[in-house]
A = this chain, B = another copy of it.
C-alpha cells in the first residue's frame, strides 16, 4: 500500500530518515550512553527499534509510558525522568513488572516518601539547573540523597534537564557548561555513577552527562529543525484536501488542531503558506503562484512540535519511499 491510500489524517514516519537519525545519534551516544525519551514517540515499536540499535535504557515522563515499555520487554533500565507522588500508580508499576529495573526522579521529601512507600528501589536526585520546572535546589541535593538512602532507596546519582537551553542561539555551549557545572557540583554531594541530562537540542554541546536523555531526534519537527540540531524530519501528517476556493486562493485539508501540537505555532507545508489550523482543518495557500491542489489530493504537513503531535494519534504509519511497510501503535498515550 502507498501512503496516498491511507485514511487521513495519518501520521507517517519515513523509516529511512528515522534510521539515519538513530544511527547519527548512536555514533555520538552509543548504547546506554543514550537514554531515549519515550515521551517523544510514545510507541513501544519505535522503542524496540532503538533497543535493536543498542539503546536499551529508556526514560519516560509518565508511569504509563514506563509500564508499557516494561510490558513490551524493554524493562532493562527504566527511568521516570519526572516527579510523581501517586503512590498507587508507582506501586502498581513496581508490582506489575517485578523484573524491570525502575528508577524514579525525586526532588523533595514528598517524592522520596512516595517512591519508598510504593516499593521503588532506586532514585536519581533531580536538580534544578536553570529551567523553572522540577528539580531541587542544587545545594539541597546532598540532603535529599541522604534522606533517600535513609528511606531505604538506592541513589544512583543525579539528573538535571537544561531544557531552557535546547534551542539557545547565544553561546549555547557556554550556558550548557554552566548548567552542567551546577549538576556536577550536586553530583559530588549526592554520589552514585549516573549523571543524566541533556536532550536533542544539546546532544553536541553537553559533554558532562554520563547519559543523554533525548527523544525528539528520532522523528524531529520544524522547531528543532529551525534550531539546526542536525537530524532529518522523519514525521509528517498526511491530509486530504477537502475544499478548494479558487477565487479566494486557498485550500482546506482534513486535519488540524486535534492532530497537531500547537504550542510551537502553526505547522508548515512545503511550497505553501499555512493560514491557520481549525479543529479538523488546515487552511493554506500556495507560494510563488503555484496552482492550488485539487479536492482529493494529498498534502504533507510538517508538525512544529513532535511530542504533543504524536500523543494525539493512534498509530504511526511507517513507510519507505512512500510504500507503507509497517504500522506502529502509539500505545503509550494517556495517563
Contacts and interface: CB of A to CB of B under 8 A. Distances in A.
Contact of A279 (B61, B84, B85, B295): B61
B242 A296 contact: no
Interface stretch (A105-113, A143-151, A179-187, A218-226): A105-113
A134 B251 CA distance: 8
Given A128-B245, A137-B247, A313-B334, 8 more contacts: A7-B88, A8-B335, A83-B243, A85-B295, A135-B243, A257-B263, A258-B308, A263-B277
Interface string A1-44: 00000011100000000000000000000000000000100000
A318 to B, nearest CB: 18
A257 B261 contact: yes
Contact of A132 (B245, B257, B262): B245
Contact of A257 (B9, B82, B308): B308
A278 interface: yes
Give the oligomeric copy count: 2
Contact of A281 (B134, B305, B312): B134
Interface of A: 7-9, 39, 61-62, 82-86, 88-89, 107-108, 110-111, 128, 132-135, 137, 163, 240, 242-245, 247-248, 250, 252, 254-255, 257-258, 261-263, 275, 277-281, 283, 294-296, 305, 307-308, 311-314, 334-335
B132 A248 contact: yes
A133 B85 contact: no
Contact of A311 (B128, B244, B258, B307): B258
